[in-house]
Structure 1
Amino acid sequence: MFTHRLVFPASVLRGRGAINHLGAVCGRLGQRALLVGGARGIASVEEKVADQLDQQMVSYLGHDTLGGTCCEEEIKQLADRLKRQGVEVVIATGGGRALDTAKAAGVLCNIPVVTLPSIAGTCSAITPLAFRYHQNGQFRDMFPLAYGPAAVVIDADLLATSPLHWLSAGLGDTLAKWYEYRAISDMNTLSGLSGVARINSELCFTLIKHYAADACQAIRQGQANLALEQVLDAIFLYAGLTSIMSNGAHTGAAHALYDGFTACDKTRHVAHGLLVGFGNLCLLALENRSDEELLAALSLARASAIPVHLNEINSDLNHADINLIIERSLRAPDMANMPTEITQQQMQEAIQRVQRLSYIKT
């Protein structure tokens, strides 16, 4: 009998000012804390983190800046540093790659990790998964972890001060939860966990459809509002639950195209969710969705500041680059989840159709 293993975060705090509970959360987990993440993420939270730990008399060991690629080498190096410094609790900040590196290193050395995302680019803060890459930045695999974060702190006030393109990346990645889940599932036979994943993924889409434009405006103004809180719940909570309920097996052509983009040195630096967001549109074209539905999806992508044309990703892409991206996407494990085999020609035509429709303003 198959046993479906569900791994949830132990605790989630969300809302405006949630970081004000960070010290109490960490104090229950250990007395020697280290902050890890990207340079920008650390700079945006370190003063507040140090103050929170001081209030709870937790020793702050300083910060450790990660290299920016969640690869096996960096995970092991971080795990070694955590052991050498006698770290008892890790506070991970930044985006998905930093959080995934910290989560994986924490599991390696059995140290609890508190995720404190400084950008809303993916649902990584919630999930027991690590998207691993090769050292050159090319996608490697989606690696399941033995357990998830010990705590998650999602502060809308903090996230409101992040650059807009990171929220857009989160919106693109979260929209994929619905677009891809619908594409790869038999929507007439969903039950149990599959049914829950479906409801969560559709809720992600509904919240973004209603609130994305106003949430983007909140980021432009640097001030949290109700719309931003709603889409943050979609990006972190409901998308994260979709990933957990489906055990990671919820991806399709949009993520496969992202895998292809990481094979090209002109596009692999672009945020995961922005590339997935463009991939969502290509997925709809692959499904032969109507022009009306595609135009509506394009309109939502624009409202979310998601790329709708390859030129918005990199204007210097040539035919060889595009062929490489497509070729690698067809070989990606995510593409194997599609209900029918996708060919090079189909993917080329899907991209061309999306780009042609992108010139029509709705």
Structure 2
Amino acid sequence: MTNHLIVRGAPQEYICHEGAWATLPTHLTRRKIKKLLILHGNDSWEAAKPYFPDLKNFEITFEYYGGICTDTRVQELLTLFQEIDAEAILAVGGGKISDLAKQTAHQLRCPVLILPTLASTCAAYTPLSVMYFEDGSMDRFDIFPQANALVLIEPAVILSSPRKLLIAGIADTLAKWYEGDAIIRQLDSLPVEVQVAYFAAKNCRDNLLTFSNDALKAMETKQINEAFLTVIETNILLAGMVGGFGDEYGRTAGAHSIHDAITMIPESHHQLHGYKVAYGIFVQLVIEGNLTEIEQLLPFYHELGLPTCLADMNMSFSEEDFQRVAKRATIPEESIHLLAQEISPDVVVQAMKQLEELMKDTTH
């Protein structure tokens, strides 16, 4: 770990309230943006259209993002952007669309504006992109020196998103505490930036354990409540603040390294990012010897349907799979080495196997 922190605390502007998307034309005018490349998904765009504002006074080009976030797709978008002589990129959708837009905008040195349709990651908030290989396995994440220009959150859009995607976001955000705490508690003193990250990480855990069930009820009744607003802003804003202020002291540790490694297994690709991270939290806790925390989290996991073991993800590892995943999870650049424990492939294999045994005795 380095002693030199870079704070990337927030987008240039962030707004979350009902009717936020309707203010987009005003924000474009304020920024003197007239030509836009709009990246969107398929399902997410159908959900977004009823709330998407009229941009008749702007020159816009709509482009389906392609379902991937790869360097090849970025190159295609660079060409398109230059062909249409656009001035900014607007991402409407989930995490991969946001990451694709941010990476493309970084290379173009243009503003990126994000209208998230999900609260499944903090991608809309953070100035980084997770990049993937063509086969769907994770390649790397790139951190950018410029903040996202604008984030507009329309709660009504997220209210109608799939329930499982909010749950995935809850799991991904829960990891902010377990990964951040594992790193930060090793420090002898906490710089002010890290204090902010630690505060945000703890509030991620506290908010989610307190409000998640009521937030999910809001999705069932299609009625926005305070719990729902708290959870979506926890998943996006608070989660983004952890890494934004803590830098490598608050970004990822063991849980995400396990996630990254599992993406090598093709059978994992049908699992949402947050669900794999949820499993990774438990593997990390086994590595740390913190079985008490697993026991305390189990009711919450069961209520939300989060995976506690491989079987919960409809996966079964051969010995070769265990070894491949453990080897990938412990490559030198992975954040699992930020844990206090001595990490090796064998440590990870034993933790995954121990978790399987522990969960055999648990009622699902």
Using structure 2 for the length normalisation, give the TM-score.
0.91
CA distance in structure 1 between the partners assigned to 2:86 and 2:47 by the alignment: 22
CA contact (8 A) 2:69 2:100 kept: yes
Following TM superposition, the consecutive aligned residue runs of length 4 or more in structure 1 with deviations greater than 4 angstroms are none
CA distance in structure 2 between the partners assigned to 1:295 and 1:206 by the alignment: 17
Q: Tell me how large the CA RMSD over aligned residues is.
A: 2.2
Gap regions ≥5 residues in structure 1? none
Identity %: 25
Instruction: Please identify, of 314-323 and 82-91, the stretch whose mean Cα deviation from structure 2 is larger.
Output: 314-323
CA contact (8 A) 1:15 1:154 kept: yes
CA distance in structure 2 between the partners assigned to 1:120 and 1:23 by the alignment: 23
Q: Equivalent residue of 1:52, what SS?
A: coil
How far residue 248 of structure 1 moved from its aligned partner, in angstroms, is 4.6
Using structure 1 for the length normalisation, give the TM-score.
0.91
How far residue 181 of structure 1 moved from its aligned partner, in angstroms, is 0.8
Summarize deviations over 1:208-240 as a string: whole Å, max 9, x none. Answer: 010111112222334322111111111111110
Q: 2:308 aligned with 1:308, yes or no?
A: yes
CA distance in structure 2 between the partners assigned to 1:315 and 1:333 by the alignment: 23
CA contact (8 A) 1:285 1:354 kept: yes
Q: 1:36 aligns with which of 18, 35, 39?
A: 39
CA distance in structure 1 between the partners assigned to 2:165 and 2:358 by the alignment: 25
1:15-164 equivalences under 5 Å are 15-29=17-31, 30-49=33-52, 51-54=53-56, 57-61=57-61, 63-164=62-163
What is residue 277 of structure 1 aligned with on the other side? 278
Q: Equivalent residue of 1:87, what SS?
A: coil
Q: Equivalent residue of 2:340, what SS?
A: coil
CA distance in structure 2 between the partners assigned to 1:360 and 1:280 by the alignment: 17
How far residue 161 of structure 1 moved from its aligned partner, in angstroms, is 0.7
Residue 226 to residue 187, structure 1, CA distance change in 2 (3 Å)? farther
CA contact (8 A) 2:7 2:193 kept: no
CA distance in structure 1 between the partners assigned to 2:92 and 2:98 by the alignment: 6
Q: Equivalent residue of 1:53, what SS?
A: coil
Instruction: Please identify, of 103-112 and 156-165, the stretch whose mean Cα deviation from structure 2 is larger.
Output: 103-112
* Number of residue pairs matched by the alignment: 357
Q: 1:11 aligns with which of 13, 23, 32?
A: 13
CA contact (8 A) 2:39 2:64 kept: yes
Summarize deviations over 1:231-279 as a string: whole Å, max 9, x none. Answer: 1111111110111112255211101101111111111342211111110
CA contact (8 A) 1:171 1:304 kept: no
Write the letter of the residue equivalent to 1:144.
I
What is residue 338 of structure 2 aligned with on the other side? 337
Gap regions ≥5 residues in structure 2? none
Q: Equivalent residue of 2:54, what SS?
A: helix
CA contact (8 A) 1:35 1:42 kept: no
CA distance in structure 2 between the partners assigned to 1:326 and 1:118 by the alignment: 34
What is residue 214 of structure 2 aligned with on the other side? 214
Q: Equivalent residue of 1:142, what SS?
A: strand
How far residue 174 of structure 1 moved from its aligned partner, in angstroms, is 0.6
Residue 80 to residue 245, structure 1, CA distance change in 2 (3 Å)? same
CA distance in structure 2 between the partners assigned to 1:306 and 1:7 by the alignment: 29
